[in-house]
Amino acid sequence: MSPHATGPWPPGTQILWRYRENGGERFHICRPMTVVQDTEELLAAWLAPGTRCVKPVLADGTPVHHEPLATRYTRPRALARDEWYGMGVLKVARWGQPWSVWLWWEEDWRFAHWYVNLEEPRVRWSGGVDSRDHFLDIDVYRDRTWRWRDEDEFAQALEDGLMDAGQAARVREAGRAAVAVIEEWGSPFKDAWQDWRPDPRWPVPALPADWDRLPERLRA
């Protein structure tokens, strides 16, 4: 089925980019975003600074990354709402590809780096896209060098049963495929997305009250 079974989203359309928790079906991350480009090949969307998002925290409200790694994925969790920080993030993801590429800027639109987030291929529905994060990531720098990121979290998630050995092997394979694209300097790295700027007329998207209970997703 075409990724545009629901029709392409015009630039400026507000959507939700959601992630399901590992080991369950509940959504635990939700980011309202603005569509930059939606084609048969890819989706690009902007996460504006100040956007109200949903994120996981420990049950007492402590940020997840403040918890020691050994118990980070076994302590009880809750959901919290918070504002996105910094300059915002542009996400570029090709349909069917098990990662998305995020672009980060510093103040005054000085480009910082790319970030490859290994994740399930996005599933499109009428109001946005759904995925599941796979813990392992890659930082990519302007000089075309790169490094693995969060390998310790990936190993801990495997140890804690949030993925099995087969899935972990598939994630590693996806990471190697992403590295091959980086080393060839393929899309989106070669496509000058770092020169892109958001339309100043775009409002900051709102987080709907029923962000986790919107219409049933459609498979791409």
pLDDT at 216: 54
202: in domain: no
106: in domain: yes
Would the pTM of this model clear 0.85, i.e. be above it? yes
Task: Respond yes or no on whether the N-terminal peptide bond of residue 98 is cis (omega within 30° of 0).
Answer: no
216: in domain: no
pLDDT at 1: 38
162: in domain: yes
Task: pLDDT tens for the chain, 220 residues: list them.
Answer: 345 556 699 999 999 999 999 988 899 999 999 999 999 999 999 999 999 999 999 999 999 999 999 999 999 999 999 999 889 999 999 999 999 999 999 999 999 999 999 999 999 999 999 999 999 999 999 999 999 999 999 999 999 999 999 999 999 999 999 999 999 999 999 999 999 999 999 999 999 999 987 655 443 3
151: in domain: yes
- Residues 192 and 196: their CA atoms lie apart, in Å, by 7
Question: Domain limits at 95?
Answer: 14-195
- Residues 206 and 52: their CA atoms lie apart, in Å, by 7
Whichever domain contains 85, its CATH number is 2.40.380.10
pLDDT at 24: 87
User: Which residue in this structure is represented by tokens 């598939």?
Assistant: 170
User: Which residue in this structure is represented by tokens 């394979």?
Assistant: 173
pLDDT at 213: 77
How many Cβ atoms from other residues are within 10 Å of residue 121's Cβ? 19
217: in domain: no
- Evaluate the CA torsion angle 141, 153, 49, 186 in order and state its sign: positive
111: in domain: yes
**Contact in structure between 54 and 208 (CB atoms under 8 Å):** no
Tally of domains within the chain:
1
218: in domain: no
